[in-house]
Each structure stands twice: as C-alpha cells, then as structure tokens.
Structure 1
C-alpha cells in the first residue's frame, strides 16, 4: 500500500509547548478573521481570551486573542497581535442549561457549531484525517477526562440518540458513553462521509452528526477551563506542538528544525486536502492539525494542462462523481454548470488530483466553483457547507 494512504497513528514523538520556548523576539500571532467583523483597532491593548472579531449574522464562531498584547495590524482577513504582558479576560460563562443557549455559548467561545443537530446520532471521528495528522492520539490518551467533559456537554445540548467513537483498527481507544467502531486505517476512510457509512451502514443517513476528536477536546477544554479556544495542537514531522492559535507558520517551522527552501510549498493540513499558504507569516487556525512541507522539484506539482480524458479521476472518486467534467466547467468560469455533475456531493478528498495524469489542480477548481456558487443566494445547501 502507498504509505501516503496509511492512517495508522505513528508513535508519539516529543511534545513541545511553544510558550516555554525562547524565540528571541516578541511572539506575534496572526488571527484569520475571514467573514468576521473586527472588534479591535490598531494600537488597542487587549487581553488573552478577549474577543477580537465576531460574525454579525451569529453563525460563524467568534475569534479570540490567544495572547495578551497590542494590536499591530488589522486587515480584512487577518488581525496581527504582538505579545506583551499577561492580561487575561474574565472567565466565560457556561451556566446556561437550555440547548440553544448552550450551543450559543460554544459559538461565542470559538467553537464551530454548524452541523450540530439536536436528536441526531453523534459520531466522534478519531481516525487521522490524513497521514501524519494524528496528534489527537495525545489528546485521547492523556486527557480522557477532558474528552468526557466535552461529550457530556454535547449530550445535554444535543440529546443525541446514540454516541459512537470511530477509531483506527488496532487502537485501544475509548470514551465512556460511546460505542467503539474500528475503521480500516486507509485513506480516504477517515473522511466524515465514509466514517458515517462505516458506522451506520448507510451512505447518506438523515440523522447523523460527525465531529472530529480534536473538536471534542476543544469543547471539553473550553467548558472545563471557562476560557475560549486559544490553543491548537499541530504536528510537524514527528513533533507535536501545543501552541497559541495564530502563531506564524515560520515560527513553528523554525522550532521544528525545518528550513523551507525556495519554491517549497507549505501546506496547512495534509498533502491531499490541505491548503498552501503564500507567506510564512500566515497564522495557523484552530482547525490546523499539521503542517506539511512539499519540497520543490524540477517540475511543478500541478500544471496548467488540459484534461486528457483518461478517466482516472472518475475511477478513483469515492463519491462516484465526474471530477474531470466539474473541473473543466470551473476552469472556464461556468460554475452553474457544475451543479449538473453534483458538485455538492464532492467531499474534497483530493484523490482526483493525485491520480490525474495531466497533473491538473482538480480539487482547487472544485473548491473555486463551490466558493463562487456559495456566494449566490439560490445555492443554500452549498452556502451552509462553507
């Protein structure tokens, strides 16, 4: 089997707390606020855990500062803060007992609650999303009480019919209150849609909610500590970093001992579904579980080539779609036409681009089309997926 597709968790390597490292210069965090309204201005003095951006529509989670410091830049998509002092915002309030208020408390404290459904079967996905994205092994093995706290909170807020835990085959992981389902650790079995099928036996069951194990940990930690999400767990190589949200990619790579060369690509996530950053000053998000470096080669990873019609992307698509036709229409801006080929059913596994003989950026074309369609009010189902 191609090692790229193996999802068997690796042995735990060293764990580094970035707050304990000597960086030589004041720490700067770059918080992504795309789609949010900033609540601070340049030169504002802010506390750790203070809200810095919110969604006027009340849908996306609020963003909080992961450090105490001074706001040094505010742009449309990013807020940059230089660490100074040790100020901490007052504790968050999780005293609400009605389901709607409990979920709203999570959203205000940085948890994405989109997709949470009352009365659904809850599946906790503990299978690594991609090879190397297995830092949650540390969370499950070292902080079971935090995971239980998160699960108990969700049980009160969502009243799920049942709770299941999906784990890689051979891993002795469990969470009290969840039935355990072993999943063959081969990509793309880790994706929510395939996890759902493996657990329920149905491809599109109507009442299932899947969340990642790291999300469950964040919920438990937020509720237990009465503090919003300010911490991320990021794996680089074999090293796991406990780090503030927004820490710049270049800082983490330096601590991990990696020196990117010219034309190397830095990926937030894995090589199949991750997203490249254009600057080493790009901050990591709450959801960033790994940083991958794609070393430069004589030829680019993807090329601006026409589709050769080989059909490899169709053969390997687990959703049984036609990525070749979707990408062809997206390439020329014919986004509405992609609906004919059921673009909304694509769960962005990246296998189409991996198998493409022409090395076309098929996944990127699909994501572009989804983004353009989501901006149109008539495409409600796509808008809710963003």
Structure 2
C-alpha cells in the first residue's frame, strides 16, 4: 500500500467556528439496523428521547433531535414534526424538553459501555483490540475541512473524549496523526503525516505512522468519533448532532435534518443534472432524493454541478491501466470490477480484494467512467453474505 502522488490535497487551515444548522420543522431519524422502535405514531417526544434501540451490545441507540410529535414510523426512519410542548395546566409539571444527563465520570468500563450505548455512541471502533491507537487528525476526504476547526476550537472536548477512550481501549500507546507536528492533544503524542489523499484512509494512515504495511495491533479512531465521545463526556446527553462540511463551510447539524433543509439553510440550490453527494467526493454516495435525514455518522454534503465530470456509465473496461497505476494497495481494480460485474466472487478473492482500502481513486481515474469502487464494494458485500451462509449451514449441520 505504498503512496503514489495524487492531486488531492486535504485542505488545512480552516479553523473557523462551526455554523449552527437549521432548526428543522421535521426530522427523519435514520434507523440503520435499529429494529426495536421505542415510540409510536402521534407520541410526544423531547430532545434526546429514545426512539429506537439496536440489538447489538456495541451499537448506539437512536434518539430524537427535537421536541415534537411522531408523524410516522417506517423501517427506514422515525419522522418527527417539530412542536413545542403544551403549556401545563395549573398545578401540573411542565412537559419534558430535554433528556436527563448521565454522569459518566465515575463509571467503570462495563458501566461506561452501557451508558455510552444508551447515549447513541457506536462502541465498535473504540473496543477493538490494539496495542497502538492512532487518532486520525486529517480531514477524511478532499473537500472536507472540519479537522482543523475541531483541533483548534474544540480541543478540550477532544481531550475529554480521549480520557474516556483510555478507559474503553486496551491500547497502551496513543498517537495523534496530524498535518503538523505542533498540534497536540493531552494524553497523546503527535506524528506529522502529509495531508495528501489517500493518507487519511485508515489502513494507509496506519502504514504511514508505523512504517509497516503489515502493522498488527493497531486501531485507528477518527476525529469525528472522538469529538462525539467528548461531547458525551461533557454533557452526558444523547447524540443529537453531527459535524459536517457543507460545500465549503462547517456546520453543526441536528440528526434527522433533511438534506433539502440543510441545503436551503446553506443557500445552496440544486440544478438540473447536478449531483448531490452525502459524504466525501471520492467515497460518498450520490443521492436520488433530498428528503432523507442526516445520520449521526454523516460528515459532509456536496453538490457537484452538472458537467463537472463525465457521467458514470456501464461501458466495458478498456484496459488502459490507469486504476492500477493509481491504486495505493497495488492491486488490479479493473479485474475486481469485472469479476464483480459477472458475479465471479471467488476470482475477486484471488485478486486480493481484501487488500482494497476503498479510497475511490480507481473510479476517479477510470477513463471509461466505470463505477469501479461500487463494484468492488458490492463484491465484498456478497462475499460476506456467502461466508455467513456457509457458517450458518455448518452450524445447522452440527445441531442435527
């Protein structure tokens, strides 16, 4: 996974404070895997109230980001219409507008994990076994620019998150990977890494910090996740906001705010043929509709004007080799894309699909404009499903 020269600088220097996102009239709280709904239609909810929980013991619960009334509950989201609580009658207690805070400071590891899950924190990334923990202080994709703002304006919050992280993580050594060795966080040493994409991709960042492509016992935590953990440490309240770069500015956005509402708030219009991308320009996903809600893990929103790039097509690979030359993992994305297209997933394994870091450079440089990254992601997903089926059949055979 040696680094090759690319034109994608990870923008540094934007240290401005975050702009508050819109006060939405409606939120659509995404329910990725949250199967057990905690509210019903027409229920009154307050900010931070549980709306759905996740069966996994390491996946955070979902909460309302506003006060209002549940308008609809679907498998994809909980729709809440903003509404102020009714004035209490004489002698009645006023309606609740905010969830109760949890004091995390005195909790031991097991109690802390349970509390963080209840606050909507995804624990999976924090609990990985590792001897070395790397905090990714680079902006994750070209165009995203909140890393410097977090390190400059929210350093105390990040350090509170780091203190909690030390309780959760078994790592003995913690390194902050940043664009400047002068940047620091209490409790971590700093290592300067060139802010050039795809250095910010987890596996490539680990290689840059350790000097080894086969480094073991390494876990990489994003600055976004650390900030979220720090907010929980400071407030004891559920996750109801996310930090996002919208075009060229940084916003604090309430979870569930629709993409359309956020674009309107930022004064960005979408024209005919424009492409709206949720996430980074290279690794994000193009949206077919604008009424979906922003999730707690969403980090950016961009509008790519029509004609900026040639449209993606189903053209056959022309064997130009551009994707191979640009691939930091030194594999052959062109073959992986073809094998995925024709459902030859065993061949994908033979071509080291697990070495793909999903940086998206193959799709960007593809002369034929094939969706190479998406084809590789599809193959990875199908391989996981096949392995799960094999495991299920094996277990079923053991019980007979």
Shared fold per TM-score greater than 0.5: yes
CA distance in 2: counterparts of 1:150 and 1:82, whole angstroms: 32
CA distance in 2: counterparts of 1:55 and 1:249, whole angstroms: 24
Taking structure 1 as reference, are residues 201 and 74 closer, same or farther at Cα in structure 2, changes over 3 Å only?
A: same
Alignment of 1:155-166 (within 5 A): 155-166=166-177
1:18 is matched with: 21
2:252 is matched with: 242
Listed one character per residue, the Cα deviations across residues 295-344 of structure 1 (whole Å, up to 9, x for unaligned) are: 11298521110111222212211112221111112112333432222222
Which secondary structure state, in structure 1, belongs to the residue aligned with residue 369 of structure 2?
A: coil
2:27 is matched with: 29
- 1:72 corresponds to 2:71: yes
Deviates more, 1:147-156 or 1:81-90: 81-90
**8 Å contact kept, 1:13–1:238:** no
Which secondary structure state, in structure 2, belongs to the residue aligned with residue 375 of structure 1?
A: helix
Cα shift at 1:105 = 2.7
Which secondary structure state, in structure 1, belongs to the residue aligned with residue 220 of structure 2?
A: strand
Cα shift at 1:263 = 2.0
- 1:5 corresponds to 2:8: yes
Which secondary structure state, in structure 2, belongs to the residue aligned with residue 241 of structure 1?
A: strand
2:352 is matched with: 342
Cα shift at 1:226 = 0.5
Corresponding residue to 2:108 among 92, 98, 108: 98
**8 Å contact kept, 2:14–2:148:** no
Alignment of 1:141-160 (within 5 A): 141-160=152-171
Listed one character per residue, the Cα deviations across residues 152-174 of structure 1 (whole Å, up to 9, x for unaligned) are: 11112224211100101x47421
Greater Cα radius of gyration, structure 1 or 2: 2
**8 Å contact kept, 2:15–2:152:** no
Taking structure 1 as reference, are residues 248 and 2 closer, same or farther at Cα in structure 2, changes over 3 Å only?
A: farther
Which secondary structure state, in structure 2, belongs to the residue aligned with residue 71 of structure 1?
A: strand
Please list every run of 5 or more consecutive structure 2 residues that lacks an aligned counterpart in the other structure: 86-96, 392-400
CA distance in 2: counterparts of 1:4 and 1:74, whole angstroms: 45
- 1:281 corresponds to 2:291: yes
Which secondary structure state, in structure 1, belongs to the residue aligned with residue 277 of structure 2?
A: strand
Deviates more, 1:257-266 or 1:72-81: 72-81
Corresponding residue to 1:325 among 335, 343, 349: 335
Alignment of 1:218-297 (within 5 A): 218-297=228-307
Could you say what the CA RMSD is over the residues aligned between the two structures, in angstroms?
Answer: 2.4
Deviates more, 1:175-184 or 1:275-284: 275-284
Cα shift at 1:183 = 0.7
Question: Aligned pairs, how many?
Answer: 375
Which secondary structure state, in structure 1, belongs to the residue aligned with residue 71 of structure 2?
A: strand
CA distance in 1: counterparts of 2:216 and 2:356, whole angstroms: 18
Which secondary structure state, in structure 1, belongs to the residue aligned with residue 276 of structure 2?
A: strand
Corresponding residue to 2:216 among 189, 206, 216: 206
CA distance in 1: counterparts of 2:210 and 2:138, whole angstroms: 16
Taking structure 1 as reference, are residues 376 and 41 closer, same or farther at Cα in structure 2, changes over 3 Å only?
A: farther
Deviates more, 1:360-369 or 1:36-45: 36-45
Taking structure 1 as reference, are residues 299 and 233 closer, same or farther at Cα in structure 2, changes over 3 Å only?
A: closer
**8 Å contact kept, 1:49–1:227:** yes
Alignment of 1:116-195 (within 5 A): 116-118=127-129, 120-168=131-179, 170=180, 172-195=182-205
Please list every run of 5 or more consecutive structure 1 residues that lacks an aligned counterpart in the other structure: 382-386
Cα shift at 1:184 = 0.8
Listed one character per residue, the Cα deviations across residues 45-101 of structure 1 (whole Å, up to 9, x for unaligned) are: 112111212222334322111111111122222222112226212223536643343
Q: After the TM superposition, which parts of structure 1 deviate over 4 Å for at least 4 consecutive aligned residues?
A: 1-4
Listed one character per residue, the Cα deviations across residues 346-374 of structure 1 (whole Å, up to 9, x for unaligned) are: 12100010111111000111122222233
**8 Å contact kept, 1:148–1:220:** yes
Taking structure 1 as reference, are residues 368 and 158 closer, same or farther at Cα in structure 2, changes over 3 Å only?
A: same
Which secondary structure state, in structure 2, belongs to the residue aligned with residue 243 of structure 1?
A: strand
Taking structure 1 as reference, are residues 183 and 105 closer, same or farther at Cα in structure 2, changes over 3 Å only?
A: same
